[in-house]
Every structure is written in C-alpha cells, then in structure tokens.
C-alpha cells in the first residue's frame, strides 16, 4: 500500500509539473486554432479599483493618458474603495474629461468594480491594478484580437519591473511568470488561456457579469467569456509592469489571500470543469487551478511514504535524500533572502516552490472552513515606494 501511494503521488506530481505543460505544447503544435487580429481602435474604458494607493495612482493615471491610443476612444474610471489616504484627492486633480473619479464607501474590490462598471461607456472593458504600468502600445495590442468575433476576452502579459526587491520570493516569482507566459502562448494557440491576470486584461462590454464577493475577480470575469461561448486569448505584446514583493513574509500573505479567493473562484465557475461541455479547457482548468493548488498533499504523501520505505530499498533512500536536499535549499533561500545568494535559482526556486505550496495548504484550510477574503489592505514595497498588486 505504501508503494502504491508513493507511485501515485509521483504520477500526480509529474503530470502536473511536466505532463500537463507538455500536453499544452503538443496541442499548440498539432491543434492550432489561430485567431484574427487587426489594427482596430474601439472605444475603451479602463477600470481600476483602488484602496489606499496614493503612492501609485497618480503615476498610473498619467501612464494611461500617455498611451498610444486615440484620445477620443479612451476613458479611465478609477473607483476608490473607501480610501483613507489621498487616493481620491489625487484622482480628482486630473482635469482631463477622460478621467472619472469615484469616491466610494469601503466595500471590497468586487463592490468597487460592480459600481465602477456603471460609469464605463466603452465597447471594450480593460481591467488593471493601480501599480501596473502599461507599455506604450499595450492598449493597441490588447484590443487587436477583438477583430475576431469569436474572441470575447484578451489576457495581457504581466511582467515584473527591474526595480523589484532582492528577495528570494522576487527571483522565484519572476521565474514562475516567465514559465506562465510560455503556457499562455501555448494555450492561446490551441484555444483558450486558463484565465487572465488582474494586471492587464480586457473583455467585451456585453460579456461583463456582476463580480461575486470573496473570489479572484480577474479569474471570475475573464473565464465568464468562456462560459458564454467566446475565446479567451493571450496578447503577449500587451505588457504591464509592476514590482514584486519586498519581503517573503509579505509575499506569503498575498499568496494565501490570492489562492483562497482563487479556490472559491473555481467553485463559482465549476460548470467549466465539465469536459462534455467545454472539452479540453476543463482538463486545463482542473490541471492548472485545482491540481497545482493541491500539490501540497501529493508532496506530503511522497515525503511520508518515501520515509517509511527508505529502509527497504536504496531507491527510496535516495528519494527521501533528494527531498531533504531540496528542502534544505528552500530553507537556505529563506535564510539568505535579501542577499545576492538568495537570488540564485538553485535556492530561490526551491524556496518559492515550498512557500507557494505552504500557502496553498493555508488557503485550502480557509476554503474548507468557509473563510472568505473580501477586504484587505495593500502592502507597501519599502524598496520602491509602490504598492503591491492586490490580486494576481
């Protein structure tokens, strides 16, 4: 029985981290579904929900106003969610008629988005975070796939600015998003990306649905277009840049919050897990958003069974030894975080991997106990003075 559990856990782990990405690549090669793009400039409303973002909201609005996009086709709606700092005041300093400032009572990001949407008049809705700065031509690249009538949503490319911190979480996060970018390219080529990131994405105005509380809003909003029968594709040239966490402790708390909301989001959109209706996308969603977030359990089974079997065979002894070395590297990443050595991939990647999986354990407990995350306070990156992304 121990050996069965050992090999079962190995199979699940290998499928999740190697098998599924390989299948995604194969589908992009042999099941390609190209979508049409065009040099179009539909009316666009950029909607931002902000809470206590005085350090970045001014720069964000200026960034949007300076984009390479027709002025008469752009609207910017900033919904201040009960900010107690100068966020609302800063937004009101912009006398440009394209900027609409909403000073709302504290209700959470979902409530701010649901209210803000009533003030948007664009055919295309673009969502972003207060600290995510768009590339000059990001908006043109983001709306280009809407030239294809089958496309209902477009995910942009979240990138981390070079002025991030020196923490091990920083290095690990960058490596993760570099891999995630490749996955989005493969998935988009074959059909749909799993979901969009809150830093930059867009949907058709007619496809917006009320955002429920306690879920990851970018996941709920972007996957709704798939529920409605449209494609969600990736525009890799639509780049948004933001800083990463200044400390591992801040990043861990953010991961727990994001994954807790993400698990509730999958439950909310559980109809997408039906392969009879949504085909391979259901497998993709389960592999990416469920299995990956539950990897902590196969990893624990692997650790326990290999420990119990170590005395019976040199193979299992090597297996437990490899896990000890990996854990030691993760611990070194934690202890050396903030140093030059902490940036080295042999220790930053194991640290990030372990941190995320421990966060998944906490998030799963939150989900099972019914804990919801509706309100939160944005943390500040001490090294840059900018706020961390509220949700990713």
Per-residue model confidence (pLDDT) at position 388: 36
Within-domain flag for 141: yes
State the total domains in the chain: 1
Within-domain flag for 172: yes
Within-domain flag for 250: no
Per-residue model confidence (pLDDT) at position 262: 86
pLDDT-derived band at 122, boundaries 50, 70, 90:
very high
Instruction: Label residue 205 exposed, middle or buried (CB < 10 Å: 0-12, 13-18, 19+).
Output: middle
For 7-61, the pLDDT digits (tens) are 999 999 999 999 999 999 999 999 999 999 999 999 999 999 999 999 999 999 9
Per-residue model confidence (pLDDT) at position 168: 55
The domain in which residue 159 lies consists of: 44-245
* Separation of alpha carbons 211 and 220, rounded Å: 7
220-228 average pLDDT score = 96
Q: What is the DSSP letter of 194?
A: S
Per-residue model confidence (pLDDT) at position 385: 37
CATH of the domain at 111: 3.90.550.10
Q: Which residues make beta-bridge pairs with 307?
A: none
* Separation of alpha carbons 163 and 42, rounded Å: 33
Share of the chain above pLDDT 70, in %: 89
310-324 average pLDDT score = 92
Q: Cβ distance 379 to 390 under 8 Å? A: no
**231-242, strands of its sheet edge to edge:** 99-104, 74-81, 44-50, 124-128, 200-204, 151-160, 231-242, 133-134
Per-residue model confidence (pLDDT) at position 138: 96
- In which residue are the tokens 């699940």 written? 12
Tell me what the pLDDT averaged over the chain comes to: 88
Per-residue model confidence (pLDDT) at position 44: 98
Would the pLDDT of 353 be above 60? yes
Within-domain flag for 211: yes
- Please report the sign of the dihedral spanned by the C-alpha atoms of residue 103, residue 104, residue 105, residue 107: negative
pLDDT-derived band at 242, boundaries 50, 70, 90:
confident
Within-domain flag for 9: no
Within-domain flag for 203: yes
> Which of 161, 243, 154 shows the shortest CA–CA distance to 200?
154
Within-domain flag for 281: no
Within-domain flag for 32: no
- Rounded to 5 degrees, φ, ψ at 136 are -55, -40
∠ at Cα 43 (38, 47), nearest 5°?
A: 115
pLDDT-derived band at 272, boundaries 50, 70, 90:
very high
């Amino acid at each position: 029985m121990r050996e069965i559990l050992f090999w079962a856990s190995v199979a699940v782990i290998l499928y999740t981290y190697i098998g599924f990405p390989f299948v995604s690549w194969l589908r992009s090669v042999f099941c390609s579904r190209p979508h049409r793009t065009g040099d179009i400039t539909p009316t666009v409303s950029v909607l931002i929900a902000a809470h206590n973002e005085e350090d970045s909201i001014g720069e964000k609005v200026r960034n949007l106003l300076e984009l390479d996009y027709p002025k008469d086709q752009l609207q910017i709606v900033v919904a201040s969610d009960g900010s107690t700092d100068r966020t609302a005041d800063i937004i009101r300093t912009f006398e440009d008629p394209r900027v609409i400032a909403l000073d709302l009572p504290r209700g959470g990001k979902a409530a701010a988005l649901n209210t803000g949407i009533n003030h948007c008049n664009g055919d295309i809705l673009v969502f972003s975070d207060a600290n995510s700065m768009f590339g000059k031509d990001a908006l043109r690249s983001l709306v280009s796939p809407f030239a294809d009538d089958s496309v209902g949503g477009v995910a942009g490319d979240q990138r981390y600015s070079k002025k991030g911190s020196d923490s091990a979480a920083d290095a690990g996060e960058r490596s993760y998003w570099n891999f995630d970018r490749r996955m989005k390219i493969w998935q988009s080529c074959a059909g749909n990306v799993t979901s969009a990131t809150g830093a930059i994405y867009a949907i058709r105005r007619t496809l917006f649905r009320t955002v429920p509380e306690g879920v990851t809003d970018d996941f709920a909003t972007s996957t709704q277009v798939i529920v409605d029968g449209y494609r969600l594709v990736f525009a890799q040239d639509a780049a948004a840049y933001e800083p990463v966490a200044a400390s591992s402790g801040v990043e861990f708390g953010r991961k727990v919050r994001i994954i807790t909301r993400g698990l509730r989001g999958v439950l909310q959109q559980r109809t997408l897990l039906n392969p009879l209706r949504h085909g391979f996308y259901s497998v993709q969603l389960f592999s990416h958003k469920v299995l990956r977030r539950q990897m902590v359990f196969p990893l624990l089974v692997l650790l326990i069974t290999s420990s119990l079997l170590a005395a019976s065979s040199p193979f299992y002894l090597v297996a437990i030894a490899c896990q000890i070395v990996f854990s030691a590297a993760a611990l070194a990443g934690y202890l050396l975080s903030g140093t030059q050595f902490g940036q080295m991939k042999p220790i930053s990647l194991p640290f990030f991997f372990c941190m995320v999986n421990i966060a998944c354990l906490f998030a799963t407990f939150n989900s099972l106990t019914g804990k919801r995350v509706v309100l939160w306070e944005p943390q500040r990156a001490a090294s840059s003075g900018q706020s961390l992304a509220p949700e990713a």
